[in-house]
Amino acid sequence: MIKLLIFDFDGTLADTHELIIQTNQEAMRRMGFPVLEDRVISRTIGLPLEEGILTMFPQLTREDLPAWVKTYRTIFDELKTRIIPGLFPHVKETLEALHARGYVLTVASSRLSLSLNDFLRDMGIAPFFSYVLGADNVSAAKPDPEPVLKTLRDLHFRADEALVVGDMPVDILMGKRAGAFTCGVTYGNSDREALKKAGANHVLDDFGRLPEIIV
């Protein structure tokens, strides 16, 4: 029986797609690199920032990353007041209902914890979550199972009591490798075929249907 839900943030709870795309593209301009298409950048959402940059530009080295990351974060802070992310449909009311029914709700994101907690607070959903993990709270990021295993260990749950919910194959792989159940959502940055290929136990088109699969 599911008792614990572990949510991705970007593309699952909140629609940050346009903010991430425009931040990446402006960073490419300022760093003097070709500006990649939206679809190429979208495939890196869910990865830690450094891994996403290396995926898009494999010719870079680790030594190149600090300047790029600093540029990205400067631009992100500039743009987030103009391109304001919002929650996807039915997210807030569904989280509220699940919380009221006694499910333990947590977040495991590749976003840094400061940014992640700021968004959760500003969107009015922070009170629903008992535990929040950012990329800086773990040593290995998605698709490594560490974020899920750490959550299970710290909150004293078994893997078979947990459901990982995310929009990207890395979310599904993270959950599966930890032994948890998994649910993909199609309205974010991936699609049904990719989520099923990654091994999702469930795939939903609407966040509001989530309670139906954990009854």
Residue 215 has pLDDT above 90, yes or no: no
Which CATH architecture fits 17-79?
Orthogonal Bundle (1.10)
pLDDT tens-digit profile of 28-42? 999 999 999 999 999
- How sure is the predictor about 84, in pLDDT bands with cuts at 50, 70 and 90? very high
Domain ranges of the chain: 4-15+86-213, 17-79
pTM for this predicted structure? 0.94
Report the 3 state secondary structure along the chain.
CCCEEEECCECCCEECHHHHHHHHHHHHHHHCCCCCCHHHHHCCECECHHHHHHHHCCCCCHHHHHHHHHHHHHHHHHHCCCCCCEECCCHHHHHHHHHHCCCEEEEECCCCHHHHHHHHHHCCCHHHCCEEECHHHCCCCCCCCHHHHHHHHHHCCCHHHEEEEECCHHHHHHHHHCCCEEEEECCCCCCHHHHHHHCCCEEECCHHHHHHHCC
CATH 3.40.50.1000 fits 4-15+86-213, yes or no: yes
